[in-house]
């Protein structure tokens, strides 16, 4: 079994099992959750295919099964299901067990404005770096959407994302070469800022934020339809 596949399964299995927990019963939201995951995954997979063909990043065959779709290993496709599910479950679990854990609207707005300004400045000076530019463009766009629509999700998500970053650094650290020889996923540093958090390109944190926040936006909308 490939290392990449093991990481996907290990990330998914515990949240999946606890989804049947009697008090929280996360399974009652499965229609909304999985529809959201598949829709967001489609967007990110198209992005993934294009960037793989451009050489922005690539995959080490030593760590994945010898089966690809449009240049992406099977594990890379599963990544956009397993990791979002585990992260989304964490977000709602924290919210369930700590219902009052959230930022005020004013603090949330200040953080959103500061993050937008930082991303806008980085964007302006890095239009020639594909991963940095597209990544922060999506990130900034989602922040603008949240600010204009007065979306309340960020009041909790700014906190839960810090919790999610703990397993994120472990899994993504291994994928980018921490604790192993070579890396599972390699990055072309000509297309990013070249700043690493351990072995992880700093852009990956913004990438994860955008992917998960987009999921949460859709889930909350779908909940109103299915429940």
What phi, psi does 184 have (nearest 5°)?
Answer: -80, -45
CB contact burial 193-226 (16+ within 10 A = b; e otherwise): beeeeebbbbbbbbbbbbbbbbbbbbbeebeeee
C-beta separation of 94 from 23 below 8 A: no
Banded model confidence at residue 22, pLDDT cuts 50, 70, 90: confident
Is the pLDDT score of 72 beyond 80? yes
The pLDDT score that the predictor gives to residue 214 is: 98
What phi, psi does 197 have (nearest 5°)?
Answer: -95, 95
181/184 Cα distance (integer angstroms):
9
Banded model confidence at residue 122, pLDDT cuts 50, 70, 90: very high
| Helix, coil or strand: residue 55 | coil
Neighbours of 8 (CB within 10 A): 23
Picking from 205, 168, 177, the residue whose alpha carbon sits closest to that of residue 63 is 177
Q: What is the pTM of this model?
A: 0.96
Mean pLDDT of 57-74: 95
Is the pLDDT score of 60 beyond 80? yes
Which residues make beta-bridge pairs with 69?
72
């Amino acid at each position: 079994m490939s290392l990449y596949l093991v990481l996907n399964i290990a990330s998914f299995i515990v949240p999946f099992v606890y989804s049947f927990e009697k008090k929280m019963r996360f399974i009652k939201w499965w229609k909304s959750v999985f529809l959201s995951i598949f829709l967001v995954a489609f967007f990110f997979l198209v992005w993934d295919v294009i960037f793989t063909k451009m050489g922005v990043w690539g995959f080490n065959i030593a760590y994945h099964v010898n089966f690809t779709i449009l240049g992406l290993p099977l594990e890379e496709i599963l990544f956009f299901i397993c990791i979002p599910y585990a992260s989304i479950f964490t977000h709602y679990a924290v919210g369930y067990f700590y219902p009052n854990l959230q930022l005020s609207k004013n603090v949330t707005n200040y953080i959103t404005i500061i993050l937008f300004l930082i991303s806008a400045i980085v964007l302006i000076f890095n239009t020639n770096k594909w991963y940095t530019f597209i990544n922060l463009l999506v990130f900034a766009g989602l922040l603008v959407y949240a600010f204009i629509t007065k979306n309340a999700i960020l009041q909790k998500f700014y906190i839960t994302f810090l919790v999610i970053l703990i397993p994120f650094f472990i899994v993504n650290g291994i994928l980018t070469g921490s604790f192993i020889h070579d890396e599972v996923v390699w990055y072309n540093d000509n297309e990013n800022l070249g700043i690493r958090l351990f072995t992880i390109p700093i852009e990956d944190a913004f990438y994860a934020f955008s992917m998960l926040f987009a999921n949460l936006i859709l889930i909350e909308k779908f909940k109103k339809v299915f429940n």
